[in-house]
Amino acid sequence: MRLVLVGTSHHRAPVELREQLFVSAAENRELVERLAGADAEAVVLSTCNRTELYLAHGDDEAAQARAFAELTALAGLAESEIAPALYTLTDEAAALHVFRVAAGLDSLIPGEAQILGQVRGAYEAAREADTAGPVLHRVFRQALRVGRRVRTETAIGENPASISSAAAELAERVFGTLEGRRILVLGAGKMSDLATVNLISRGVDSVFVANRSVERAERLARRFGGRAAGLDAVEAELENADVVVASTSASGYVLSAEQVERAMRARKGRPIFFVDIAVPRDIDPAVNEIEGCYLYDVDDLERVVEESVAGRREEAVRAEAIVADEAERFRDWQLSLDVVPAIASLRALAESIREDELARAEGRLGSLSPSQRRAVESLTAQIVNKLLHPPTVRMKEAAAAADGVLYADAIRHLFALEDDDHPARKPRK
């Protein structure tokens, strides 16, 4: 069976095309079943940054044609239009790719952790649909192991790699822990959403959203089980908040130093952490001069991210070595598929001949004692094993050197392993 990958990602396709090729969880099962048919294995990995079809098939050209047809239908484009955005990889190259994906090495941000769960989800979906066979079971289980190895043996995922994750990590450094802390969110856009998600993942207890449009504030607050109000409620909420995330589209400051000073008097010195990720800024920079206030703007956070990504790229070198090692293991396993059946057939043939010859000599062996009979059985088995040991070793060595299929074919031909008329294959009378 050949391993075949056909897909696209953020490296080759704009978001408009990736949207057209996105496969939802509900659509995944139907697609993998079509791809697998009656003669192949199939797994579909689809995220916001990639859609990749993995197949194991005896004919790699047929597998590629099947994958191209499905992607063309998904995109609603002619094959000539979509082809430049697609890549095709086979066998070891395909395995190396999915290992890099699971390790976060093919992501926009090196080492991002979400992709490993997405790879696991794609594999589990194929298992539920019963479209993952021996080859894809092997490659995806190994990919999940690679992802775990990279995260435990390197520091590629330890530092924040986005503005929102950097904000959450800095807040955690300030307070030591975010367990039970309260967050005040100014604005209800995407950046506010992402920052809130990161803070909640680190233990933030409650969320209050303030926005010019109260309706939008309420929608965001509902997602996190929080409360909402207009911007006029900000000063009162400052008295209880531990973390303030600001990301509105206002043209001027929505939070002044005077407002913060009044709130700090009511807070009696309890520290407060401000994250201003708006451009133009939402929070008066003078807030940073107030005792107990820690203010970071988008430039501060970008510097943290740049340092983090640089560190991740250094760790990526170590991660690539792990991935390359695992890809070589997969290559050795796949090459062994050419020789293992031939070795098994040869040993089965030899054992059949041994048993037949012992049966023919039964008249002469009948007078042997049980211990003598066991000695004869052991002696003949040892002879067979010693005769077959050198060709078995040579075939396995040849498989590792990519010559295994030639050796396997030679063994099948020399010993008539596929010949139903071979004496050893005829039923005993």
> Which fold, 2-158?
Beta Polymerase; domain 2 (3.30.460)
Concatenated DSSP letters for 157-207?
A: TSS--SHHHHHHHHHHHHHS--TT-EEEEE--SHHHHHHHHHHHHTT--EE
Confidence bin at 52 (pLDDT 50/70/90): very high
Active-site residue, 48 included = yes
Confidence bin at 160 (pLDDT 50/70/90): low
User: Can you give the residue ranges of every domain in the chain?
Assistant: 2-158, 163-304, 331-425
Helix, coil or strand: residue 376 = helix
Question: How far, in Å, CA of 167 to CA of 304, rounded?
Answer: 9
Give the pLDDT mean for 256-282. Answer: 89
Class for the domain spanning 163-304: alpha beta
pTM: 0.59
Helix, coil or strand: residue 272 = strand
When mean pLDDT is compared across 66-70, 82-86, 189-193, the lowest value belongs to 189-193
Write down the catalytic residue from 15, 25, 48, 236. Answer: 48
Question: How far, in Å, CA of 86 to CA of 50, rounded?
Answer: 11
Amino acid identity, residue 81?
E
pLDDT value for 192: 83
Please answer whether residues 293 and 271 qualify as being in contact, where contact means their C-beta atoms are separated by less than 8 angstroms: yes
pLDDT surpasses 80 at 408:
no
pLDDT value for 395: 74
Tell me phi and psi for residue 326, to 5 degrees.
-70, -35
What mean pLDDT value characterizes the chain? 86
Amino acid identity, residue 261?
E
User: CB neighbours (10 Å) of residue 313?
Assistant: 12
Between the ranges 98-107, 125-134, 357-366, 401-410, where is the mean pLDDT highest? 125-134
Give the pLDDT mean for 172-180. Answer: 84
pLDDT value for 162: 65
Give the pLDDT mean for 373-399. Answer: 84
pLDDT value for 308: 66
